[in-house]
Amino acid sequence: MTANKIRKVVSHSSDPTALDKLALIAATNNQLATTIANNTDRFAGFAVLPMAFPDLAAAELERCVKNLGFVGALID
């Protein structure tokens, strides 16, 4: 992977419809960012977003890309 500059994108899942889980979603994204920070030449991150709440999802995506260095989000 390193010789060919191949990176894998890492993501995770959470319940995107649970408003009471917004803190958990942010904490999970933070944990993923910490994990991939040690291997940024090999891994990149996709954010988990609370898709049932578009304004909050947009804010979390912006935070993850600008502050945590994620490359996007997987939207199902």
- Give the mean pLDDT of the chain: 82
pLDDT at 13: 63
Q: Is residue 15 pLDDT above 70, yes or no?
A: no
Q: Which of 70, 73, 12 is nearest to 45 (CA)?
A: 70
Please state the pTM of the whole predicted model.
0.78
User: Which residues lie closer than 8 Å to 63 by C-beta, 6 or more apart?
Assistant: 26, 29
pLDDT at 52: 83
Please give the backbone phi and psi of residue 10, each rounded to the nearest 5 degrees, phi first. -110, 135
Q: How far apart are CA 6 and CA 20, in angstroms?
A: 37
Q: Is residue 74 pLDDT above 70, yes or no?
A: yes
